[in-house]
Structure 1
């Protein structure tokens, strides 16, 4: 069944990473501020990213009880990070923050998805 991962403990990794990112975004460090300013996201909209990341972190946690939710959330998280990478490319903000965050996070999310369900 696609909703049941081979490695249950992997469901916690994306939740922890997204939760950490959301918590850091409450008082964003300089590299997150540069990232958001680089894509010209207005500061009064930064709260929306925190809400999205908290909801995305809740998905894998809910997936502990309902396995299909974890799979769906993992797919959505990959899409979220790909959209963020596209926003960076469109704004031509391809500095170190882009390479570390916007290429590393989709790679991490895809790796968790593959190892959890395909291997």
Structure 2
């Protein structure tokens, strides 16, 4: 594995997706509220998810120049969405939000990790 990404654009796309998700979560639309309520995540902790996503986006972008930061942030994003998937399965909340949000973002995070940090 590399300490700096081989390609810059996958990390940038993932960072933009996380940033957009965090901004949307500040005034959570119905699909985000349904998702968090569906897994039983306490409303008083929703702010923490916004901070995590913003910090991950910053880490991904910083990792374009600072060795090791981007891969750490990317692995953290993969872990975050694996945890979200576990929460959905445990709560048996496997509606559209699970398939689009959790699995979609996990796919993007894994694709970013592979494209950026696995040498070809």
Interval containing the TM-score (normalised by the shorter chain): over 0.9
Secondary structure in 2 matching 1:67: coil
- When the two structures are superposed, what TM-score results if normalisation uses the length of structure 2? 0.93
RMSD, aligned CA? 1.2
- Tell me the alpha carbon deviations over residues 43-87 of structure 1, each in whole angstroms, 9 at most, x when there is no partner: 111111111111111101211220310011101100000000000
Secondary structure in 1 matching 2:36: helix
Native 8 Å contact 2:60 2:74 kept in 1: yes
- When the two structures are superposed, what TM-score results if normalisation uses the length of structure 1? 0.94
> What is the aligned partner in structure 1 of residue 48 from structure 2?
48
> What is the aligned partner in structure 2 of residue 80 from structure 1?
80
> What is the aligned partner in structure 1 of residue 57 from structure 2?
57
For structure 2, the 5+ residue unaligned runs are none
> What is the aligned partner in structure 2 of residue 92 from structure 1?
92
| Mapped partners of 2:12, 2:93: distance in 1 | 31
| Mapped partners of 2:8, 2:49: distance in 1 | 27
User: Does 2:13 match 1:13?
Assistant: yes
Secondary structure in 1 matching 2:68: helix
Paired residue total: 119
| Mapped partners of 1:9, 1:99: distance in 2 | 25
